[in-house]
Amino acid sequence: MQNEYQSLSPTAAKRWIILLAAFVNGFVIMSIELLGGRVMAPYFGSSVYVWGSIITVFMLSLSFGYLWGGRLSLNNPGPRTFVLFFFGSAVLCLPIIFFADPLMTEVFLVIEDPRYGSLLSAILLYFLPICLMGMVSPYSVRMLVARQSHSGGIAGELYFVSTLGSALGTLGTSFYFVVWFEINQIIWVCILAQLLSGTVVAIAFREQLGSGKDKDTTAPAPASAAVDARGGHS
Amino acid sequence: MRFATWLISLLLVTTGTQQASAQRNVVHEERSQYRDVVVTEFNGQRCMLFNVVRGDMNQTCMDLSDPERLIFTYTKMSFAGLLFNPQPERILIAGLGGGTIPMTLRELYPDAEMDVVEIDPAVVTVAKDWFNYQEDDKHEVHVVDARVFIKRAGLRGVKYDFIMLDAFSGEYIPEHLLSREFLQEVKTLLTDDGILVANTFSSSRLYDHESVTYRDVFGPFYNFKLPDSGNRIILATPGDTLPHVGDLRAPARDLYDRLEPYGINILEFPPRLSDEPDWDTEARVLTDQYSPANLLN
């Protein structure tokens, strides 16, 4: 099993880029979650139910994102899929800016109870983008782990940076951004941050993106070959 | 229980909201999804409190020996709305508290239709059990967020000729009840001769933002302040022009006898009304997109 393990083991610079992308991703998740309360308040109020709906949907989206992201990393893992999570989630955030009002108006008209109205709206607005953002975490582990014996340490590092990002996203958004900017301006910045992360990852891993399969079939860089070799013997 | 009593007494003493010698008895605690609601008795007054741990002010109080008498100045001030519409027929009140305002309006106008909106079911329970609040066949309390109720009322085309906004969370008015879009929704509910009475605080960083937002939606409005109250009552009409203060003296004289038993001296109200901006007119209007109300407060 160990001998079959195909390391995508990146150089130190690439490792930092993946960690940074995971940090930004964590930041964006919580920033969007926090704004969710404000996006939905005009239609469903700010009762406990609305926050209940938002948190439920975010947790649900992330849990499926973790599951499916982990599964995706089993077959031909590589930077191309990873980059697509960022671009995809950025695009899927656009409806929050452009369609939230008409969508919530429809839901408001159809569903009287603000509990289920807010739950349905939260699912429609947030499930897809947050699910994709959730896929980033397990997939980053796969991108970073060179040797199985190190997998726990790598996973710990990843949770650390992405959760730290989430903490700062929560703090920054709730304490400062909402005083300085409009909600949609903050969401635009989140979208741009995801696009930028995806672009930086794509540039860093550009040699591995070109091939037909999402796999490093080109000659590996010496450093990663060295890690590969070590991985094989551990 | 004894510890809670001790704690409340301590907090009230240290925050100076009551005399230092006060012994306050907690007579009831109601668990709530939002904040526990506490009923205390002290000095012949029964009060409803939120957020006791932070030593917040009383939400509402009742004089046990004379339940009709209104204790808070701001409660009395909110009856200034009657100067603009002395015979309300359809009343909407957002924020129940102990139900003092709706019960007083009920006594004054037995035939008026009344809708009261309160987000917290625990507040409704406490108001009914401890503050003599009751609904009747023309008076219903709706347990729902005020924004949701008002948006839906607008869709149904319902109108009111007396709307009172008195919804406070722990600290201040929730931000989605301060935005331009919300006030526009409120405005569509007002009949042509209707009056909006909004209870706000005179001292907060929000004062400027709040004022320009009301001005943006309603045009000129009357500001009503009294020296012994930290509240500012906003009196806004849906039309473009406000009635002159001089024209409010006649309704004040007519209402005086009926309001006097509640401790309301409405004759002193008209001279206190002002439509002159006493705020920074360059402040940013609050919207659903930009409403950092709780941070600015």
Residue B168 Cα, gap to closest chain A Cα (Å) = 12
Determine phi and psi for A147, rounding to 5 degrees: -135, 140
User: Which chain B residues are closer than 8 Å to A45 by Cβ?
Assistant: 119, 144-148, 176
Which of A42, A45, A179 is closest, CB to CB, to B296?
A179
Q: How confident is the model at residue B55 (pLDDT cuts 50, 70, 90)?
A: low
- Helix (H) or strand (E) segment spanning residue B234: strand B231-236
Residue B297 lies in a domain: no
Q: Does domain A12-229 have CATH number 1.20.1250.20?
A: yes
What is the chain B residue with the closest CA to A178?
B292
Residue B77 lies in a domain: yes
Phi/psi-derived region of residue B194, left when phi > 0, alpha when psi is between -120 and 50, beta in every other case: beta
Contact assessment for residue B283 and residue B209, using Cβ atoms and an 8 Å cutoff: yes
Residue B95 lies in a domain: yes
Comparing C-alpha atoms, which of B91, B112, B81 is closest to residue B237? B81
- Which DSSP category does A177 fall into? I
Distance (Å, whole) CA B27 – CA B220? 45
Distance (Å, whole) CA A93 – CA A195? 11
| Domains contained in chain B, number | 2
On whether both B52 and B178 belong to a single domain, the answer is no
Across B50-55, average pLDDT? 62
Among B13, B30, B63, where does a domain finish?
B63
Residue A31 Cα, gap to closest chain B Cα (Å) = 15
pLDDT the model gives residue B203: 81
Q: Is the pLDDT of residue A215 over 90?
A: no
Comparing C-alpha atoms, which of A215, A191, A209 is closest to residue A132? A191
B166 is catalytic: yes
* Contact residues, A window 157-176, toward B, CB-based 8 Å cutoff: 175
DSSP labels, B106-130: HHH-TT-EEEEEES-HHHHHHHHHH
On whether both B42 and B103 belong to a single domain, the answer is no
pLDDT the model gives residue B32: 86
What is the chain A residue with the closest CA to B296?
A179
Residue B226 lies in a domain: yes
User: Which chain B residues are closer than 8 Å to A44 by Cβ?
Assistant: 145, 148
Distance (Å, whole) CA A100 – CA A213? 37
Mutate to test the interface with A, among B36, B185, B289 (most CBs of A within 10 A): B289
Comparing C-alpha atoms, which of A157, A187, A230 is closest to residue A7? A230
On whether both B59 and B80 belong to a single domain, the answer is no
Q: Is the pLDDT of residue A128 over 80?
A: yes
On whether both B114 and B147 belong to a single domain, the answer is yes
Q: Is the pLDDT of residue B5 over 80?
A: no
pLDDT the model gives residue A107: 96
Q: Is the pLDDT of residue A190 over 90?
A: yes
On whether both B162 and B232 belong to a single domain, the answer is yes
**Higher pLDDT, residue B125 or B50:** B125
Across B246-265, average pLDDT? 94
Among B63, B84, B110, where does a domain finish?
B63
We report the CATH number of the domain holding residue B135 as 3.40.50.150
On whether both B108 and B223 belong to a single domain, the answer is yes
Comparing C-alpha atoms, which of B265, B209, B215 is closest to residue B242? B215
Model pLDDT for residues B162-214, shown as the tens digit of each residue: 999 998 876 788 889 999 999 999 999 999 999 999 999 888 778 999 999 99
Q: Is the pLDDT of residue A212 over 90?
A: no
pLDDT the model gives residue A1: 45
Q: How confident is the model at residue A229 (pLDDT cuts 50, 70, 90)?
A: very low
Contact assessment for residue A6 and residue A215, using Cβ atoms and an 8 Å cutoff: yes
Across A126-135, average pLDDT? 98
In whole numbers, what is the pLDDT of chain A averaged over residues? 88
On whether both B248 and B163 belong to a single domain, the answer is yes
**Which two structure tokens, joined as six digits, stand for A1?**
């099993």
Residue B257 Cα, gap to closest chain A Cα (Å) = 40
On whether both B132 and B111 belong to a single domain, the answer is yes
On whether both B87 and B227 belong to a single domain, the answer is yes
Contact assessment for residue A24 and residue A207, using Cβ atoms and an 8 Å cutoff: no
Q: Which range is least confidently modeled, A79-83, B3-7, B228-232, B238-242?
A: B3-7
Model pLDDT for residues A94-105, shown as the tens digit of each residue: 999 999 999 999
Partners of B42 in the β-ladder: B45
Across A106-122, average pLDDT? 94
Q: Is the pLDDT of residue A220 over 50?
A: no
Across B113-122, average pLDDT? 95
pLDDT the model gives residue B51: 63
Q: Is the pLDDT of residue B8 over 80?
A: no
Distance (Å, whole) CA B211 – CA B39? 33
Contact assessment for residue A31 and residue A169, using Cβ atoms and an 8 Å cutoff: yes
Given an 8 Å threshold on Cβ–Cβ distance, is A183 in contact with B182? Answer: no
Distance (Å, whole) CA B21 – CA B15? 13
Contact assessment for residue A8 and residue A78, using Cβ atoms and an 8 Å cutoff: yes
Residue carrying the six token digits 């904040």:
B35
The residue annotated as part of the active site, out of B115, B161, B166, B208, is B166
Distance (Å, whole) CA B163 – CA B165? 7
Domains of chain A by residue range = 12-229
What is the chain A residue with the closest CA to B173?
A46
* Contact residues, B window 223-282, toward A, CB-based 8 Å cutoff: none
Chain A, chain B: beta-carbon pairs less than 8 Å apart = 61
Across B78-93, average pLDDT? 97
Contact assessment for residue B258 and residue B108, using Cβ atoms and an 8 Å cutoff: yes
Tell me, what amino acid is at B266?
A: I
Is A224 strand, coil or helix? helix
* Contact residues, B window 93-152, toward A, CB-based 8 Å cutoff: 119, 144-148, 151-152
Q: Is the pLDDT of residue A218 over 80?
A: no
Across B31-56, average pLDDT? 80
Residue B295 Cα, gap to closest chain A Cα (Å) = 7
Distance (Å, whole) CA B6 – CA A218? 74
Comparing C-alpha atoms, which of A78, A100, A88, A63 is closest to residue A184? A100
Domain that holds residue B253: 73-291
Q: Is the pLDDT of residue B2 over 90?
A: no
On whether both B41 and B120 belong to a single domain, the answer is no
**Higher pLDDT, residue A54 or A214:** A54
Given an 8 Å threshold on Cβ–Cβ distance, is B151 in contact with A47? Answer: no
Percent residues over pLDDT 90 in chain B: 65
Which positions of B make up the binding site for S-methyl-5'-thioadenosine?
Answer: 35, 118, 145-146
* Contact residues, B window 34-93, toward A, CB-based 8 Å cutoff: 34
On whether both B83 and B59 belong to a single domain, the answer is no
pLDDT the model gives residue B23: 60
- Helix (H) or strand (E) segment spanning residue B46: strand B45-49
On whether both B125 and B15 belong to a single domain, the answer is no
In whole numbers, what is the pLDDT of chain B averaged over residues? 87
Name the pairing type of β-strands B190-201 and B160-165: parallel
Across B13-37, average pLDDT? 67
Residue B296 lies in a domain: no
Q: Is the pLDDT of residue B87 over 60?
A: yes
**Higher pLDDT, residue A199 or A215:** A199
Given an 8 Å threshold on Cβ–Cβ distance, is B179 in contact with A42? Answer: yes
Q: How confident is the model at residue A207 (pLDDT cuts 50, 70, 90)?
A: confident
Determine phi and psi for A82, rounding to 5 degrees: -60, -45
Across A139-167, average pLDDT? 92
